[in-house]
Chains A and B, each alone.
Chain A
Amino acid sequence: MRKIILFSVILLISFLFVSCSKKEDKKIIEFWTLQLSPTFDKYFNELIDKYEKDHPAFDIVWIDIPYDAAIQKLLASAAAGNAPDVVNLSSDFLAKFAGMNALADLSEFMPNDSFNIFLPNALDNCIYNKKIVGLPWYLNTYVLIYNKDFFKNAGLTQADIPRTFSELVDITKKYKDNSGKYALFWNIGKDSYLPMMLGSEGVEMTDSLMTKAMFNSSEGIAFIDKWVQLYKDGYLQSESIIKPGSTIIEAYQSGQVAMVFTGPVFLRRVKDNALSIYSNTDVAPAVVGKTGKHELAAMSISVMNSSQHKKEAVDFAFYVTNSENQIAFSKIETTYPSTIVALNDPFFTIDDGTLETKARIIGAKELFDAVRLRKYLEHPQFDKLRDAFDEAIQKACLGKVTTKEALDEAADKWNKILAHPNPSQRDGL
């Protein structure tokens, strides 16, 4: 018995030594992406092979993580001291990690003119507190996806397609009055789209220095109140105040609503899941406010401050986001490149008559007017600001308070947070 135990221990120790043996002397750059596998497996394998051939001193390890678990995985890896070197982040994640000083300032590693290849409004999305904390990667913008059949059955025509938020309010009422069904799904409570709509209408959420909330101006209240009344009068689904924007396309593809306002990339999902709905689908330009601006949804690539090979990681990040690679990326899935040269590729201008191409061309044109409307994302406590605003809208929609009272209460909370960015200096929020 003793001999067996001794032998097992020796075997175990020898396994440990084998696994810890010195690897080849190559620099490893770990690159994480958000939910791009398996669609982009071939793309990334080829991209990485080419990079490694041109840079034989490097090994690129690509890891794709689920979007919903991204934050937890990134935090766990950071806490364990093995965060990735290069990471793909959404706008919200970028804001969060930038606020925690987790991201490297890329301008320290590359000359300023290196960044001129990107669309200025896209690059602006990656600038926090005057630091360039990411490179814009694939972009998305919003188009109006609608069901032609449903419109026709409700007695509506092409001329009724809304172009402004005011028209959208009117058509939402008219559609339901005519058909008895909901015109659209619009998340106005959780991760509300309302701040972006306010921005598009020219109503700022805060002053330019982000010290005071301004959305409770008379113009802001009047605008929000239209949507609150829509909800209270039953023109929006009950769960519009609690469902996040990620569920938008579900309502459309299941035939519950006649239109949605989302990225062209979701057309593929409608085609895969609901062919009958897809065959009656058409697209129109994004609905906008008085300024004509709309929100830019940007994925970015950042380098973590904890990276041991920051310079090399930045070089790889630029490689992934160069025009050639971005055009190839956009041809696989309906997204948009962030470089000016890539956006002028014929792929984004020539119409082949398919719905996806039509959506792609509309979206490509709109990209030049797309900006980061939610400027408050720069604030380190932006998630608390967002929650305070969302909860105010929910209260108003449920009739607990008037729209003015709700927005005034939210503005008070915002002012407290804006005055004391450090939570431990502040009560209750």
Chain B
Amino acid sequence: MKTKYAYFFLLPTILLLSVFYFLPTIQVFYFSLLDYNVFGENEFNGLSNYLRLFNDPNFWYAILNSGIFILVTPILMFLSLMLALVVRETSSTIKLFRSIFFLPVVTPIVIVGIIWRYIFSEDIGLMNYLLSLFSFSSVPWLTEYPTNLFSIMIVTVWRGFGYYMMIFLAGLAVIPKELEEASRIDGAGRIHRVFYIIVPMLKPTLILIFVLSSTAAIKIFTELYIMIPGTPDSNKTLVYFMYKQAFENFDFGYGSAAGVIIFILTMGFSYINIKLMEER
């Protein structure tokens, strides 16, 4: 009897997920097998879109760039863990810093992109101005590859560390204080406590952040769209490649094929997470 009511209450969520998630996913798989024409008849062309994809140098560049982008993951994990360790105290000053560190997370991404585009502007931007004060020459933050990719990574780290810091704080909150106290009494220094007590206890949190951060890195788009839209296609990542094929070139079948590949890659990372959890 109670189970019947449970399904009734789950129904709206299942309907929403089906309409806005599962069905579109199945549609994308289907569209990837078509020469899709919004204004006319579609033509089934089997795996042609995938063959084109594997022969497209820009697709492989996109995979390479997405792979490079995953480098933000260890940087983010390290930075946000360190910050979480600093702000885990409960004083009002520390609480203020927590809010400050979280501000980039809640700032709209488009605003972030526009402001950082000006900061990285090679002729009038703050970064090159600061470099000039120390007699360094200008850096082509936005125009040259792969420097422009690293500029986007800086923005991603800046925007993301507050978010992962909060997740780490939640993880740190469940570590028994007695463990740390005991290790301090036994003579363990701060660094030893972090690496031998805290980090092992944070393993589930670390895995979660690794998966979240790496899948977000694969799916990076808005920052590139705002900051370096005019750079060559070989400078872009997978989701940008997919967007361009579908919404700029109107090649929806081809874009859908790219979408399927992105889906497979992100599923791969989720699978790694499941395997790591099983080992635990």
Contacts and interface: CB of A to CB of B under 8 A. Distances in A.
B143 A75 contact: no
Contacts of A101: 39-40
B228 A242 contact: yes
Contact of A237 (B123, B232, B250, B251): B123
Nearest to A237: B123
Nearest to A424: B48
A211 interface: no
Given A239-B121, A423-B251, A423-B254, A78 B230 contact: no
A71 B123 contact: no
Given A79-B38, A96-B250, A424-B48, A190 B229 contact: yes
Interface stretch (B51-59, B166-174, B197-205, B211-219): B51-59
Interface in B33-72: 35, 37-40, 45, 48-49, 52, 55-58
Given A238-B143, A423-B52, A306 B39 contact: yes
B231 interface: yes
A383 B123 contact: no
B251 A182 contact: no
A306 B267 CA distance: 39
Contact of B144 (A96, A398, A423): A398
Contact of B40 (A100, A182, A239, A423): A100
A237 B142 CA distance: 12
A428 B55 contact: yes
Nearest to A76: B38
B124 A394 contact: no
Given A101-B40, A238-B123, A238-B140, A244 B57 contact: no
B180 interface: no
Contacts of A71: 247-248
Contact residues on B (Cβ < 8 Å of other chain), bracket: 35 or more
Interface string A406-429: 000000000000000001100111
Say what secondary structure dominates the interface of chain B: loop
Given A238-B143, A239-B121, A424-B52, A244 B38 contact: no
A384 B56 CA distance: 13
A114 interface: no
B249 interface: yes
Contact of B143 (A72, A239, A391, A424): A239
Interface string B14-39: 00000000000000000000010111
Interface in A379-407: 383-384, 387, 390-391, 394-395, 398
A241 interface: yes
* Max count, chain A CB within 10 A of own CB: residue among B57, B124, B140: B124
A204 B20 CA distance: 48
A424 B143 CA distance: 31
A427 B233 CA distance: 16
A391 B56 CA distance: 16
A166 interface: no
A395 B233 CA distance: 12
Nearest to B121: A239
A256 interface: yes
A218 to B, nearest CB: 26
A305 interface: yes
Given A238-B143, A423-B52, A428-B55, A244 B249 contact: no
B250 A100 contact: yes
A182 B124 CA distance: 11
A390 B234 CA distance: 13
Interface string A94-109: 0011001110000000
Contacts of A391: 232-234
Contacts of A182: 123
Interface string A357-395: 000000000000000000000000001100100110011
Contacts of B230: 189-191, 239, 241-244, 390
Nearest to B148: A242
9 contacts: A71-B248, A238-B143, A239-B123, A241-B230, A244-B229, A305-B39, A383-B248, A387-B233, A424-B48
Given A190-B229, A391-B233, 17 more contacts: A71-B248, A96-B250, A100-B38, A100-B39, A100-B250, A237-B123, A239-B230, A242-B143, A242-B231, A383-B249, A390-B230, A394-B231, A398-B144, A423-B52, A427-B55, A428-B55, A428-B57
